[in-house]
A and B are shown apart, each in its own frame.
Chain A
Amino acid sequence: MSKTLNLKLKIWRQSGPHAQGAFLEVDANDIPEDASFLEMLDIVNERLIADDVEPITFGHDCREGICGTCGVMINGQAHGPEKATTTCQLHMRKFNDGDQIVVEPWKATSFPVLKDLMVDRRAFDRIVEAGGYISAPTGTAPDANEIPIPKEVADSSMDAAACIGCGACVAACPNSAAQLFTSAKLHHLNVLPQGQPERWRRTEAMVETMEDFFGSCTNHGECHEACPKEISLDFIAFMNRDYVRAKITNRSLASQ
């Protein structure tokens, strides 16, 4: 059996989007050091259930850091103190016996709290729907090797495509801006040859949809620090450049 920790938790509880929330203070004793952060919450929940208290609701699914469902603010940091790590991959050995841990849901106007630690991130889907795709209906594709892509370009595209859409960037941003998420999706598609025909339409539409929901970037860099996939701030610069070019190019395309 691994070592155990005794912790003091302050966990946000909120019964619905419009309800007043408050911290629940609860002692979490004998937490195995090898448990993940979400397993720690599982244990707390099992004890709450034993006491006939409704368990804490939190989003989670794959628990291996790729689905992007989980994510909470842990002691004021999105996904907690460990760099490049999702909440599900954060393990309790990173904490000390006796620590107080404050747990809050992501907070942003367009990420309304649904219940406790679970938030609604559909705004991200709206941004992708605005243009985050390459229109290639099934069956229309040429041979995959017909369009060579320099390795550097494919790698750069992949760096951006690694985004898991968890929302930590918005949560960590003092402006609740979604620049890192949006620019990562744009970069993924905009650098590829296949992404060129729709590049300017895509950029304009996605940026403007993003601005319907989220704040303005002031280049703090908190998003990058919070990002479990370490998505680079460079993509934001790339998006800024592409957006102004898009405004010009789309104007001239419209006159053709």
Chain B
Amino acid sequence: MVTLDAKIPDGPVQDKWDNHKFSVKLVNPANKRKFDVIVVGTGLAGASAAASLAELGYNVKVFTFHDSPRRAHSIAAQGGINGAKNYRNDGDSVYRLFYDTVKGGDYRSREANVYRLAQVSVDIIDQCAAQGVPFAREYGGLLANRSFGGAQVSRTFYARGQTGQQLLLGAYQALAGQIAAGKVTLYNRSDVLDIVTKDGAARGIVVRDMLTGQVHAHSAHAVVLATGGYGNVYYLSTNAMASNVTAAWRAHRKGALFANPCYSQIHPTCIPASDEFQSKLTLMSESLRNDGRIWVPRDHDETRAVADIPEDDRYYYLEEKYPAFGNLVPRDVASRNAKTVVDEGRGVGPLKNGVYLDFAAAIARDGEQAVRERYGNLFQMYERITGEDPYSVPMRIYPAIHYTMGGLWVDYNLMTTVPGLYALGEANFSDHGANRLGASALMQGLADGYFVLPYTIGDYLAPKLGEAALSTDDPAFTDAIQAVDNRTRRWTSKKGGTHGVEYYHRELGKIVWEYCGMARNEAGLEKALSEIPALREEFRKNVKVLGTPDGINTMLEKVNRVDDFMEFAELKARDALHRAESCGGHFREESQTEEGEALRDDEHFAYVGAWEWNGDDQAQTLHKEALNFENVALTQRSYK
């Protein structure tokens, strides 16, 4: 029986991390080389953790399915990274960042974790600047900041629209230095397909070499998963094509509890799908909403050209419903309202699947040149993708899945319920609650990797001094290798089949988006819970995988991932069904205010919902970690 012990240190929230750093066990510098650590994933969290652990002296093996660590999807983050530096003298502080993050997460995150995140945010900026991340600067040579995602202070650091790229390159370069120093061994094009445990603790991983198809095992004293989020369960998302839940899901099946899988964040300003073959959605910076006006035609059957639709026939639904915030309402509110008007049949574009984001007023007010200076590169990107000129025709936008707040349950040390197995970055559930603030994903990934795990991992390792890592000849490993090999070979040995894996992924995405997307209700979730297992069964029976398992086989790589998504989707729907309240990115239609706002139910749901795997065809067990708020008072949001 699992008991959830978050191991939150005692003391006031401001002192918890300092107290904890003092109380954790340390590994002597000369002894660190006696420990092997496996890091899976080379995004911000994985690369920063691997580099930092290697700098401390640990032997690190790092795994990525990409050709190079630099390709991880952290690279696509545009906006920026928060840091409570208060360089702008505008009243920011660690406490304010902490407060904003807890509130932004709709009071579904752990206070202690969030406070620590805000504390180390300051060090992250220093670390990245020292690594040569070319942050935007003022003419005086000091760092520039901007206000992001509706924050009342300017605490976001950025490198043009490519902050994620620059931070990842910083971490990748630090990793490269450690690879050259021989402290890190890099395994690229390596797909991690299982986590190996023995006596309840993590011992290593099973990996498929994507070039040769060979399945083999790696052993270590601890395993760190930094494998990102599960947004691709929706098929269409802003995630990269290969982003997947596999490592986290396999860990879940080996005993790691999966927390809050129903939480996913929708980004309101993405480019709508243009046809059924659309493979992914592209996000455009939210800053567009500062000057763009969002509207749809009032008439469902509008046929006139945009320019011919008079003002009175345009429905500026955000401005009408939320006069105070207008087009700048939070992400989830903007997203849900877009869904509402599109569902009503007012959608625009050839597939009637978007809403207008119109810059005509801004161009008339400030001139085209001013708009070009502010958004030139975004307009260019939009035109490249859609072939339409946003200076003359309004942009079409629609919300898309962008980030997932749920993930493997971890304690204050970032360790999952499997001893020796850690989860970092988007792969864990810890810091964002039910909704993530803008520019906080990069901050959390780097906080976990640079400044949290390197301290907390010693607490687990120190008592293990003198123990060798489990031999890969141990039956725990050989059995796991055999199981992975069998599972992989099953797909290709099966003859016939009706559709490729892409088809089933798309079908799964439709179900999850429809019933567990921007708005959820009991009937829909029940429907999803009956449709997902049926689809999974059909998929397992009829999916067509060509080629051999002994070499590069992109269909085979994908089929394993989709197989895990098929199981994960069910848990996600189950979690969404059980959480009968609305909070953050989880909107239950049954739980809303009279104005249609998300209505939390703190009395019954102020907890982390963590699910325990009980075996195939067995329902998972729900465990609850109660959330106690000692510093932040729970309030209801209102944007009227």
Which A residues have a C-beta under 8 Å from some C-beta of B?
Answer: 1-2, 16, 32-36, 38-39, 42-43, 45-46, 49-50, 52-55, 57, 59-64, 66-69, 82, 85, 89, 91, 93, 114-115, 118, 120-122, 124-125, 128-145, 147-151, 154-155, 157-158, 161-162, 164-165, 188-189, 192, 194-195
Contact = CB atoms under 8 A, between A and B. Distances in A.
A133 B132 CA distance: 8
A161 B166 CA distance: 7
Contacts of B260: none
A49 B132 contact: no
B126 A149 contact: no
Interface in B110-153: 123, 125-132, 134-143
Interface stretch (B272-280, B476-484, B508-516, B600-608): B272-280
A130 B162 contact: no
A150 B141 CA distance: 4
A2 B176 contact: no
B134 A140 contact: no
A38 B280 CA distance: 11
B274 A2 contact: yes
B165 interface: yes
30 contacts: A2-B350, A34-B386, A36-B385, A49-B544, A49-B546, A52-B544, A55-B554, A62-B71, A66-B76, A67-B240, A89-B381, A124-B68, A125-B188, A130-B180, A132-B176, A133-B132, A133-B173, A133-B176, A138-B55, A141-B127, A144-B85, A145-B142, A145-B143, A148-B142, A150-B137, A151-B138, A157-B132, A158-B166, A161-B165, A165-B70
A34 B387 contact: yes
A142 to B, nearest CB: 7
A35 B277 contact: yes
A122 B67 contact: yes
Nearest to B173: A133
Given A32-B277, A46-B500, A61-B241, A158 B73 contact: no
A63 B132 CA distance: 27
B253 to A, nearest CB: 26
Given A32-B277, A69-B67, A194 B55 contact: no
A194 B174 CA distance: 14
A120 B240 contact: no
A129 to B, nearest CB: 4
Contacts of B71: 61-62, 67-69
Contacts of A50: 500
Given A68-B70, A93-B387, A158-B136, 10 more contacts: A34-B275, A63-B280, A69-B66, A124-B68, A133-B131, A134-B132, A138-B48, A138-B450, A139-B123, A161-B169
Given A46-B502, A115-B552, A120 B67 contact: yes
Contacts of B275: 1-2, 32, 34-35
A165 B172 CA distance: 12
Contact of B66 (A61, A93, A192): A61
B421 to A, nearest CB: 22
Given A144-B143, A151-B141, A158 B134 contact: yes
Contacts of B387: 33-34, 91, 93
B384 interface: yes
B490 interface: no
B277 A64 contact: no
A161 B134 CA distance: 8
B227 to A, nearest CB: 14
B127 A42 contact: no
Contacts of A125: 68-70, 176, 186, 188
B551 A165 contact: no
Nearest to A62: B240
Contacts of B322: none
Interface residues of B, number: 81
B546 A54 contact: yes
Given A138-B127, A138-B451, A61 B240 contact: yes
Interface centre among B85, B126, B188, B386, by most chain A C-beta atoms within 10 angstroms, is: B126
B241 A63 contact: yes
Contacts of A165: 68, 70
Contact of A63 (B176, B279, B502): B279
B583 interface: no
Nearest to B141: A148
Contact of B279 (A16, A38, A55): A38
Contacts of A148: 137, 140-142
A121 B76 contact: no
B262 interface: no
A147 to B, nearest CB: 8
Interface string B54-77: 010000000000111111010110
A114 B211 contact: yes
B182 to A, nearest CB: 11
Contact of A138 (B52, B134, B166, B172): B52
A85 B52 CA distance: 35
Contacts of A195: 132
A91 B350 contact: no
A165 B552 CA distance: 22
Given A32-B275, A141-B126, A194 B131 contact: yes
A148 to B, nearest CB: 3
Please give me the 6 A-B residue pairs with the lowest Cβ-Cβ distance, nearest first.
Answer: A148-B141, A133-B173, A141-B130, A34-B274, A144-B129, A136-B130
B173 A61 contact: no
B130 A89 contact: no
A60 B280 CA distance: 12
Given A1-B275, A151-B137, A61 B73 contact: yes
Contacts of B132: 133-134, 157, 188-189, 192, 194-195
Contact of B73 (A34, A67, A144, A155): A67
B123 A141 contact: yes
B420 interface: no
A128 B176 contact: yes
A67 B67 CA distance: 11
A157 B134 CA distance: 6
Contacts of B55: 137-138
Interface string B165-187: 11001001110110110000010
B70 A134 contact: no
A57 B552 CA distance: 8
Contacts of B141: 148-151
B547 interface: yes
B385 A89 contact: yes
